Amino acid sequence: MQFSDEGYIIKTRRHGESGLILTVLTRSNGKISGYVKNAFSAKKNGIYQLGNCISLNAYARLEENLYSFHVDLQRAEAVNFMNDEAKLSALGALCELCNTCLPEKDNIGLFYNKIEDFFNNILEDNWRTYYSYFEFSLLDYLGIGLDLSECAATGSHENLKYVSPKSGKAVSAAAGAPYADRLFLYPSYIVEKKENPKPQEIGEVLKLTEFFLNKNFFQAHGLKFPENRANLRHIMQL
C-alpha cells in the first residue's frame, strides 16, 4: 500500500536511536502515523516540529502495518508560534485535540480546511477567531454539533441569545432570561461567519466548546480533558 499526501505534524515520538514516529493530520487520508528513519541528522532536525506542514510518501506492506514515511518540508509553520505563549498554547491544544479525538485513517473532509485556516491566519491579529472556528467545527465533525437554528423552548427563530448545556440547542432571549446564569451565550459570530468578533465573544465560544467536548467526548470515552486546552482561555487572555 502506497500513497502521497500533505498535512500538519500533530505528534512526534522518538523511536530507537535515530528513528521517529510521526502523527500527521493529512488532507486526504486524515490522521495517520508512520516511521521516519534517520530523523535526527543536522540537515533534517528542524523538519519534525509540531505544526510544520509536510509532504509525505507513505508505504506499508499491509494496511494494518505502520507506515514508513519519506518526508519533505512544505512550510515551516512552527516558527510562527515559538515566540508567543498564547499561539504556542493554541497549537499545543489543537494538536492534542486532533490526536485524541480523530480516528486513524478517516477522511476528515472539509474539517481539514478549518485547521488550514488556523495556520494560514496565525500571523493575523484575529488568529484567535480561527482557533475558535476549529473547535466549533470539531464538535460538528465528532457528531456532537449544536442545534442553533431555533429556540428549544418556543421554536422561534428570532432573538436567539443562549445555548442550553443540557440539550445543546438555542434558547431565545425571553425564554432564557430566568436561567441566564446557567446558559451559554449564543455564538452569533460563528453562525453569521464573521471573522472579527470581540475577544469576549471568542472566550464565550471557547467556554461552550470546552464544555461540550468534555461532556460528550472526553467523559463519554473515560478520558481526561487535556490540561493544555483547559488552561487555554486564561493564556489567551479571553
Go through the chain and tell me how many residues it has.
238
Which domains are delineated in the chain?
2-79 (2.40.50.140), 81-236 (1.20.1440.120)
Specify the 3-state DSSP secondary structure of 236: helix
Sorted by sequence, the CB contacts under 8 Å of residue 221 that are 6+ apart come out as none
How far is residue 148's CA from residue 162's CA, in Å, rounded to a whole number?
9
Alpha-carbon distance values, 40 to 43, 117, 216, 235 (Å): 8, 30, 39, 32
pLDDT digits (tens, 9 = 90+) for 47-71: 999 999 999 999 988 766 789 999 9
Q: Which three cell numbers stand for residue 4?
A: 502521497
pLDDT digits (tens, 9 = 90+) for 184-230: 999 999 999 999 999 999 999 999 999 999 999 999 999 999 999 99
pLDDT digits (tens, 9 = 90+) for 78-102: 999 999 999 999 999 999 999 999 9
Say what percent of the chain tops pLDDT 90.
87
How far is residue 20's CA from residue 38's CA, in Å, rounded to a whole number?
8
What integer pLDDT is reported at residue 63 of this predicted model?
A: 66
**What is the helix (H) or strand (E) element at residue 92, kind and residue range?**
helix 85-101
Q: Which three cell numbers stand for residue 122?
A: 496565525
